[in-house]
Amino acid sequence: MTATTYLHFETERLILRPTAEEDAGFLVELMNTPKWIKYIGDRNIRTAEDAAAYVRQKMTPQLQRLGFGNYTVIRKSDGVSMGTCGLYDREGLEGVDIGFAFLPLYEKQGFAFESAKKILEAGIHQFKLPQISAITTRENVASQKLIEKLGLRFSKMISIPNDEEELMLYELKVG
């Protein structure tokens, strides 16, 4: 199945389509930004080949299994890839995790909220998820504010497999 087989989403300014191997160059840039490394973690993606392999091994299997996953966020006005937003089935978390990351040039312009709100709505209405969670570090105040603006509420501090840092867990029970 190709990425075009899966749901795509649109907002007033954005197109959200499943991340594919063709996004490899963009992913190398995004996954090596200082904020990605600090708040999400170094995934050792240094080349387009590394990124394409990451898409094949980490992103595509979840998309095939659940019908949703990581989406590349593209600005309609010029077709530029600005960030990613998605719903992730993470080991150690109850419920599906909503997450987002943007290149620094596109921060503080409402793109993260606009895309995350659309993905949250899709999680509730298209994918019928009973609960949506979000995790972030204590230091990532911007992420905390966006998560709260989406309607998720802080639940507790947690640890997830393969991550020694304690994370803030936010939850939204649906229905």
- The per-residue pLDDT for range 145-172, each reduced to its tens digit, is 999 999 999 999 999 887 778 999 999 9
At 127-137, the pLDDT tens digits run 999 999 999 99
Domain holding 133: CATH number?
Answer: 3.40.630.30
Is the pLDDT confidence value at 39 over 50? yes
Number of H helices, E strands in the chain: 6, 8
Q: Are 100 and 89 in contact (CB under 8 A)?
A: no
Burial 139-162 (b: 16+ CB within 10 A, else e): ebeebbebbeebebeeeeeeebee
Number of domains in the chain: 1
Cα distance between residue 130 and residue 78, in whole Å:
36
pLDDT band at 4; cut points 50, 70, 90: low
Residue 173: Cβ-neighbour burial (10 angstroms; 0-12, 13-18, 19+): exposed
Mean pLDDT over residues 112-141, rounded?
96
* Residue 44: domain span: 3-173
Helix, strand, coil % over all residues of the chain, rounded to 5: 40, 25, 35
- pLDDT tens by residue, 43-93: 999 999 999 999 999 999 999 999 999 999 999 999 999 999 999 998 888
Amino acid at site 118: K
pLDDT of 1? 42
Determine the pLDDT at residue 154. 97
pTM of the model: 0.94
In this structure, what token pair is assigned to residue 33?
A: 């930004």
